[in-house]
C-alpha cells in the first residue's frame, strides 16, 4: 500500500484517453473482490479458516523473498502477480486512489502500450528490489504500490506544475492546493524516513515505493528529456468547488 501519512490527494486534471489506467483499476478491484481478503466469497470460510485461506492466497500469488531467491525460475512471475493482489479494502482503495489521480495523464503522455509496459516493469523491479533487501523473509509481499510509485515519479517529471489538492491532518484536514513538485517530493521524503525506521521484513513496503518512484522519474527523464516537459493548461474547477 502506498502510505501517504494521512495526506489524501484529489485529482484536478482528468484524462480523456486513458483506458489502461481504468483497466488496471478495474482488474485490481475485480481480483480483490474474488479473493479471500474481500470477505465476499463464502467458499473461503470464516474466522480461522478465512485467515488460513488468506495466508495461502498471499503466499501463492505474492512475493515471498526467501522463496523467490531460493527458486527463481519457479517464482519469477510472482512480482507480476503480486501487483494485482491487495491485502485489505484500505490497501486496495488507497492504491487505486493514487492510480486514478496520477495514472491517466501519465498514460496520455506515454501512450497505452508504453504506459502498460512501464507500469508492469517498474512495479516488477520495485518489488524485486524490496525482496532483495529482505532476502531471508518468509512473509508475503503484495500490492501495486511499487508500480504506482513509478507513475508518481513519472508524473512529477512530466507535470511538475500540475496542482493537486491535499488534505493534511496537521492542518486540520483543510483542502490546500499545491503543485506536484511540492506534494510528490514531500511524499517521497516521508517514504524515505519511514523506510529508515521500518522493522526488518515486509510490512508496508516503503523501500518498494522509493525504488518505484526513482525508476519512474528516471525513466521519464531519459525518455523525454528536459525539452519535452508538459506544462498543463489551467484545470477547470471540479463540480462542487463553487458551492454557494
Q: Which residues are catalytic?
A: 145, 209
Beta bridge partners of 115: none
Distance between CA atoms of residues 14 and 108, nearest Å: 11
Distance between CA atoms of residues 181 and 161, nearest Å: 6
By the 8 A CB rule, do 180 and 162 touch? yes
Distance between CA atoms of residues 5 and 187, nearest Å: 8
**Residues in contact with 173: Cβ distance below 8 Å, sequence separation at least 6, in sequence order:** 167
Q: How far is CA 140 from CA 34, 68, 109, 185, 216, in A?
A: 19, 11, 34, 28, 24
H-helix or E-strand spanning residue 9: strand 8-10
Number of neighbours of residue 14 by Cβ within 10 angstroms = 12
Q: How far is CA 172 from CA 6, 165, 175, 180, 183, in A?
A: 11, 14, 9, 21, 17
Phi-psi region of 204 (alpha: psi -120 to 50; beta: other; left: phi over 0): beta
Amino acid at each position: 500500500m502506498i502510505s501517504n501519512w494521512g495526506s489524501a490527494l484529489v485529482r484536478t486534471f482528468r484524462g480523456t484517453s486513458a483506458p489502461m489506467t481504468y483497466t488496471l483499476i478495474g482488474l485490481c478491484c475485480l481480483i480483490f473482490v474474488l479473493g479471500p481478503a474481500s470477505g465476499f466469497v463464502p467458499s473461503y470460510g470464516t474466522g480461522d479458516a478465512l485467515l488460513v485461506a488468506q495466508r495461502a492466497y498471499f503466499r501463492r500469488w505474492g512475493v515471498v523473498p526467501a522463496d523467490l531467491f531460493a527458486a527463481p525460475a519457479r517464482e519469477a512471475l510472482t512480482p507480476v502477480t503480486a501487483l494485482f493482489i491487495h491485502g485489505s479494502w484500505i490497501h486496495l482503495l488507497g492504491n487505486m486512489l493514487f492510480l486514478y489521480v496520477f495514472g491517466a495523464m501519465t498514460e496520455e503522455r506515454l501512450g497505452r502500450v508504453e504506459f502498460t509496459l512501464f507500469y508492469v516493469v517498474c512495479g516488477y523491479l520495485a518489488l524485486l528490489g524490496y525482496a532483495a533487501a529482505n532476502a531471508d523473509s518468509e512473509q508475503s509481499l503484495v500490492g501495486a504500490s511499487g508500480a504506482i510509485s513509478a507513475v508518481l515519479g513519472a508524473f512529477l517529471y512530466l507535470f511538475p506544475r500540475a496542482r493537486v489538492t491535499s488534505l493534511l491532518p496537521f492542518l486540520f484536514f483543510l483542502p490546500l492546493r499545491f503543485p506536484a513538485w511540492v506534494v510528490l517530493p514531500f511524499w517521497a521524503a516521508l517514504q524515505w524516513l519511514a523506510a529508515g525506521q521500518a522493522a526488518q521484513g515486509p510490512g508496508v513496503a516503503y523501500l518498494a515505493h522509493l525504488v518505484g518512484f526513482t525508476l519512474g522519474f528516471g525513466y521519464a527523464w531519459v525518455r523525454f528529456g528536459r525539452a519535452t516537459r508538459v506544462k498543463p493548461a489551467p484545470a477547470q474547477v471540479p463540480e462542487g468547488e463553487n458551492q454557494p
